[in-house]
Amino acid sequence: MLARTGLGLYALLLFGFIFAGRHDSANVYSRLGTTESLVERGEFMLDGSLYAFTIDKVRVNGHFYSHQPPATAVIGALAYFPLYECGLRLFPPFWIGADLLVFFVNGLAALIAVICFYRCLALFGFTGGLQLLMTAVLGTCTLLLSYSVTYNSHGVAAASLIAAFYCYLRAERGSTNYTVLSGFAFSLTGALEHAALVYYALFAVLVLSKRGFYAFVYFVLPASLTLLPTLYYYRAVSGSIAPLATRPEFFEYPGSYWSAGKESLTGIHWNTPIFTIRYAFRCLFGSRGFLLYNPVLTLGLIGTVQTITRRGDRWLEGLAIGVASIIFVGYYIIASTNYSGQCYSIRWFIPIIPVLMVFAGPQFQKLTIGWRRYGLALLLLVSAFYAFAGAMNPWVLEGHGYATPFYNVASFWGRIPNHDHSLVGFPYSSGR
C-alpha cells in the first residue's frame, strides 16, 4: 500500500514538473517534429512540420530528417495518435498536447523504471523500508528525475535498460517469456541509444554461457522488432545502415548550424589521448560533471565494484553492467567534445543510473545505521537539490558553470528571467 501511494505521488511530481517547467530545445523540437510528422502525415520527414526550423536535423536527398535515432519518435507517435484524434496538437499557443505526450512517454517511462528497480531490489534480497528508500532515492535524487519531465530518449533508455535487467533476473529460473521480454528491452535500449548496444551484447554472452543456445535464440529474436526496423529506416532514408548522426555530409546544407563549426558532431572522430583525459575529468567532475550532479550514484559505483571484486551474488551480471557502462561512457568521452550540448549536466549518461544503483543496497544498509545516517541524509539532500534543479529546466544554456543548479531554481521561481532560447526557440512563441 505504501509503495503504491509513493508511486502515485511520484506520478504527480512528474506531472507537475512537466506542466510547470520549461523544456524547449533543438533536441526536443527535433523529436517533436518527427512524432508530429509520423502521426499527421505518415512520414519521417520534417519538411512539413512546424518544427522544421530546429537545428538538430540532417538533409538527405533534398529532405530534412531528425538526426536522432527514430525509436523515441515512433514510441511518441503511438502516444500522440490518440491525443491527435482528440483534437490536441504539439505546438503553441496550447502546449497541453505536448505536455501530455511527455507525460505518456517520458513520465510513464520513469514510473516503469522505479517499478522495475523496486522489484530488482527484492530479487537482490532487499525489501521493506530499505527497498522503499532506495527506490525513492532513484526517482528523486538522481538525474533520472531531470530527464523524465522532457521529451528525450535518455530517460526512456534508462527505463528500458532497468526493465531489461529485471526481466533477465526473472528469467533465471528458465522462463522463456521473461527471456524474450529481456531481449526485447535490451534491444529496444540499443535502438533508443545506439551506444547502449554494448549491454545487449554482453548480456547475450551471459545468456548463452549460463542458459544455453535455445535461451540465447529467444533472447536475440526480439531484435527483429527493434534493431532491424531501425537499420531498415537508415537504409531507406540514406541508402546505408549507418546512423544518420554519423554521416557528416548530411549536415552540410545552407544555413546549417553544424557546418558553421559552432559545435563538433559526436561519433565523427576520435579524441587525442591528452584531450580525452581532460575531457573525461570535466564530464564527470567539471562544472557540469555527471558525478557532481549525481553524488548518490557513487554508492552504486562502489556497490558494483565490491560485488565484482568480492564475487558477491550475481557478480557476473555486475561485471557485465560495469564493463558495459565503462564502454558506454567511454564512447562519448572519446567521440565527443561538446558535453552533450546545451543541457543540464551530461544527458548521455542517464541510462546507466538505475542499473548501477541496483548494486548500492549494501552501501545503503551500512549508511542507515548509527551516526552514518546523518551523512547519508546530507548526501541525499544534496543529490535531491541537483535532481530537482535539473527538472526545473533540463535544457539550460551554457555559461553558468557550477552555479547552474542555483540559476535553474531562481529562474523557475521567477527571481531572474528565463533564457531567451533565440537559437532554438519556437518562432511563434517566446516561451511557455
Mean pLDDT, contiguous 10-residue spans, the chain (432 residues): 88 93 82 96 94 92 95 97 93 80 97 98 94 97 97 97 98 92 98 98 97 96 97 96 92 83 72 94 95 97 96 93 98 93 94 98 92 94 97 86 91 64 40 37
Can you give the pLDDT at residue 173? 84
**Global pTM value:** 0.94
Can you give the pLDDT at residue 238? 94
Residue 430 resides in a domain: no
Residue 43 resides in a domain: yes
| Distances, alpha carbon 30 to alpha carbons 54, 257, 306, in Å | 6, 14, 41
Max CA separation in the chain (angstroms): 66
The angle formed by the CA atoms of residues 217, 220 and 221, to the nearest 5 degrees, is: 80
Residue 260 resides in a domain: no
Residue 190 resides in a domain: yes
- Model confidence over 259-307: pLDDT tens digits? 766 567 776 789 999 999 999 999 999 999 999 999 999 999 999 999 9
* Residue length of the chain: 432
Can you give the pLDDT at residue 429? 38
Can you give the pLDDT at residue 417? 54
Chain centroid offset of residue 244 CA:
19
Residue 423 resides in a domain: no
Can you give the pLDDT at residue 94? 62
Residue 129 resides in a domain: yes
Residue 197 resides in a domain: yes
Residue 40 resides in a domain: yes
* Number of domains making up the chain: 1
Exposed, middle or buried by CB within 10 Å (0-12, 13-18, 19+), for 236? exposed
Can you give the pLDDT at residue 424? 41
Domain span holding position 385: 2-247+266-412
